[in-house]
Amino acid sequence: MYGGNFLTAIALMLVLEGLLPAVAPSLWREAFRKMVILNDSQLRFAGLASMLSGLLILLASHSHA
């Protein structure tokens, strides 16, 4: 059961990550260009902020279930 949930989460992540390049490629390219010039600590902070946001959304969605 948990393996299916994990695969579902990965699939959903891939769908969401592909949404912006499919809908607005120039906007995605510009965002990627800006991200490439960030230093390592800025990228780590962005990754940490993204993970924490996802965790909060996950916890909030499970608290209402």
Enter the tokens of residue 46.
């962005």
Which pLDDT score is estimated for 27? Answer: 95
* Calpha distance 39→34 (Å, rounded): 11
Which pLDDT score is estimated for 42? Answer: 96
Which pLDDT score is estimated for 2? Answer: 65
Which pLDDT score is estimated for 1? Answer: 52
* Calpha distance 49→34 (Å, rounded): 17
Residues for the chain: how many in total? 65
Query: Which residues have a Cβ under 8 Å from the Cβ of 43 and sit 6 or more positions away?
Result: 35
Enter the tokens of residue 39.
């230093």
User: What pTM, to 2 d.p., does this model score?
Assistant: 0.69
Give me the residues of the chain with pLDDT under 50, please: none
Which pLDDT score is estimated for 65? Answer: 63
